[in-house]
Structure 1
Amino acid sequence: MCLAIPGQVLSIAGDEPLLRQGRVAFAGIVKAVCLAYVPEAQPGDYVLVHAGFAIALIDEVQALRTLAYLAGFEPEDPR
Structure 2
Amino acid sequence: MCLAVPVRIESIENEMAVCSVGESGTTLKASLMLLEEEPQIGDYVIVHAGFALRILDPQEAQESLQILREMAQVGQVV
In structure 2, the gaps of 5 or more residues are 72-78
In structure 1, the gaps of 5 or more residues are 15-19, 74-79
2:16 to 13, 18, 21: 21
Indicate the residue corresponding to 2:27 in structure 1. 30
Q: Supply the distance in 2 between the matched residues of 1:42 and 1:31 (Cα, whole angstroms).
A: 16
Q: Supply the distance in 2 between the matched residues of 1:2 and 1:32 (Cα, whole angstroms).
A: 17
TM-score, normalised to structure 1's length?
0.79
Q: Where is the helix percentage greater, Structure 1 or Structure 2?
A: 2
Measured on the aligned residues, the alpha-carbon RMSD in Å equals: 1.5
One-letter code of the match for 1:12?
Answer: I
Indicate the residue corresponding to 2:74 in structure 1. none
Give the fraction of aligned pairs with identical amino acids, expressed as a percent: 37
Alignment deviations for residues 10-69 of structure 1 (CA, whole Å, 9 cap, x no partner): 01001xxxxx10001112211111010125111010000000000001110000110011
One-letter code of the match for 1:24?
Answer: C
Secondary structure of 2:12's aligned partner: strand
Q: Supply the distance in 1 between the matched residues of 2:3 and 2:57 (Cα, whole angstroms).
A: 18
The alpha-carbon deviation at position 3 of structure 1 amounts to 2.2
Any runs of at least 4 consecutive aligned residues in structure 1 with deviations exceeding 2 A, and if so which?
none
Secondary structure of 1:7's aligned partner: strand
Aligned residue runs from structure 1 range 39-78, under 5 A: 39-72=37-70
